[in-house]
Amino acid sequence: MRKIILVAAAAVSAMTSAFAGGYLTNTNQSASFLRNPARDAYFNVDAAYFNPAGIGFMSKGWHMGFDLQSAYQTRTTTSYFTPFATGTVNGVQNAENGLKRFEGNAKAPVIPSIDLARIADKWFFSFHFGITGGGGKCQFDNGLGSFESQVALLPDLINALQPGAVSGYTMDTKVQGRQYYFGGQFGVGYKVTDKLNVSVGGRVVYADCNYYGYVRNIGVNVNTPSGMVNMPASTLFTQQGMPDFAVLAANRELNCDQTGWGFTPIVSVNYNLGKVNLAAKYEFKTRLRLKNRSGVNTSGLAEFDDGKKIAADIPAILTLGAKYDVKKNLRLSAGFHCYFDKQATQYEHKENHLKGGGWEILAGAEYDINDIVTVSAGWQTTNYGLGDNSDFLSDISFVTNSNSVGLGARVKIKKRIHLNVAYFKTFYTHYKKDMAPYDKLDQKVNAMVGQLTNALTQDAAYQQSIINNAASTPEQIQLAQDRLGVIQREAGAAQNVMGAVGAAMQAGRYNGYLNFHRTNDVFGLGMEIDF
């Protein structure tokens, strides 16, 4: 039960990413994207990110773009687990049917990005800065089922030792985190012919994350002749003469900062046929290792140990785009994105649980109402290659397939200044994952009891050595014998617990499911200036 705690802290490691793309890739890098996500073959200044080779087809001189976005997201897991029915979390009684809703809210009210481009006769240069991963703060006020489920087992564990002694559990919990992946991208391009441009460059990525959370005041409802009494679980274990069990229900806390640097090589090509423009870009895998600085980590999670480096690669991406000028005032566009997620190394090789890499299809249209106003709309579908009942998904970190729509307008303010306004809405599919048992509790209980049993075995050997030592005093021998009696009692209790839990699992009591769902709304405002 050392993991009764901040498994949820890892929840924020991917939860804050508010936009489409691979599991840690934000592809919305401008307000223009929000109003038409099929940007892969456009020549506007945001091509510094979407289509670096296309920059060369812009007018000579300097161009600048500045964008602000606001994103609001909910991440909801509806969990079914029978033992939840007896719990009270943060003072609120769980539903009696064992069904519980865990919701996290992610807010990113200010997401800035900037684009610069300089076009000469043959050479051209581009720069983009934005938040290419993460980008917000997320908070779970009532924790997550993945760690509450372990606390929820306490009544069963105690009742295995003393039938009918306990009727429920209580706990206080909270998890929050933030995650920002800042990306500074540069490109150098060359006009090979009047129709063909190429560009090479790269992106420097800096990750800055913080995870904080706790599980406190773990208690149990004890049935007494005078009625039900709530007391700390550690106190009950001590009263029952099992002090080593008591530490398993102690408060847990985590406060961990993670930082790291990475570099992404990028190559791009654009072929312009006039009415038809074709573009392609390849971003190589970003090797990223995050270093932990943990002020406190009593969570039992090695992932957050102070000084440890954690694998967090950003997947390689291939983008293909096409734009067709139907008329002078009407443009259609399409795009395809392929994410090589399975080749991006994650902590404990989580990427191996994916069935395949993610992909996206995008389409959009722009229409010039007049010389001042352009309206646009677009659609994007995202598939993450999850497969059925995927182990890649957990309430700690999940993505689901989605469809998104965007709409907005581009307005000429002055001759060389344009304003973009946009709204982007994502509709996520529900994903149900059946689990037998819930959240791999068999493995967690085996690990918990196994650690305790090993510790008791080692302690028993030590106490026996004191008893057998001719130099030991009578007082030392007596203390060792007393301690050995406690150890033997606790070892027997551990066996009883394993038997009771095993029987409950065979009976299906610990089976359950997770139903994953998200919502996402993004608002954008941007300005383009041609010098």
- Rounded alpha-carbon distances, angstroms, from residue 521 to 106, 299, 404, 527: 11, 33, 10, 21
pTM: predicted TM-score of the whole model, two decimal places = 0.86
User: Model confidence over 298-333: pLDDT tens digits?
Assistant: 777 778 888 899 998 999 999 999 999 999 999 999
Residue with tokens 């007391």: 231
| Number of CB atoms found within 10 A of residue 188's CB | 14
Distance CA(441)–CA(308), nearest Å, equals 26
Cβ–Cβ under 8 Å, residues 503 and 417: no
Q: Where are the domains of the chain?
A: 6-436+517-530, 442-510
Percent of the chain past pLDDT 70, that is, above it, reads 94
User: Model confidence over 206-238: pLDDT tens digits?
Assistant: 999 988 888 889 999 999 988 899 999 999 988
In 289-401, beta strands by DSSP E: 289-297, 309-311, 316-327, 330-340, 359-368, 373-383
Angle between helices 145-152 and 154-161 (to 10 degrees): 20
Distance CA(530)–CA(251), nearest Å, equals 58
Q: Give the pLDDT score at 14.
A: 37
Q: Which helix (H) or strand (E) holds 420?
A: strand 417-428
Distance CA(362)–CA(34), nearest Å, equals 12
Distance CA(509)–CA(511), nearest Å, equals 6
Distance CA(266)–CA(127), nearest Å, equals 12
Cβ–Cβ under 8 Å, residues 229 and 170: no
Q: Give the pLDDT score at 18.
A: 42
Helix (H/G/I), strand (E/B), else coil: 247: helix
User: Model confidence over 64-108: pLDDT tens digits?
Assistant: 999 999 988 888 889 999 999 999 999 999 999 999 998 888 878
The candidate with the shortest Cα–Cα distance to 148, out of 77, 234, 89, 62, is 89
Query: Average pLDDT of the chain?
Result: 89
- The one-letter amino acid code at 478 reads Q
Q: What does the pLDDT average to over 281-287?
A: 96
Q: Which three-class secondary structure string do you get for 270-313?
A: EEECCCEEEEEEEECCECCEEEEEEEEECCCCHHHCCCCEEEEC
Q: Give the pLDDT score at 142.
A: 85
Q: Give the pLDDT score at 139.
A: 81
Q: Give the pLDDT score at 25.
A: 65
User: Model confidence over 142-195: pLDDT tens digits?
Assistant: 888 877 888 898 898 889 888 899 999 999 988 888 888 999 999 999 999 999
Q: Give the pLDDT score at 3.
A: 40
The DSSP result for 189-200, as a single string, is EEE-SSSEEEEE
The domain defined by 6-436+517-530 carries CATH number 2.40.160.60: yes
User: Model confidence over 434-482: pLDDT tens digits?
Assistant: 998 888 888 878 877 888 889 999 999 999 999 999 999 999 999 999 9
Q: What does the pLDDT average to over 496-513?
A: 89
- Joined together, the tokens standing for residue 82 give 């029978």
Q: Give the pLDDT score at 171.
A: 94
The candidate with the shortest Cα–Cα distance to 364, out of 374, 372, 353, is 374
- Rounded alpha-carbon distances, angstroms, from residue 342 to 40, 292, 313, 400: 23, 24, 10, 16
Q: Give the pLDDT score at 418.
A: 97
Percent of the chain past pLDDT 90, that is, above it, reads 59
User: Residue 4 pLDDT > 80, yes or no?
Assistant: no
Q: What does the pLDDT average to over 52-74?
A: 95
Cβ–Cβ under 8 Å, residues 400 and 520: no
Q: Give the pLDDT score at 459.
A: 93
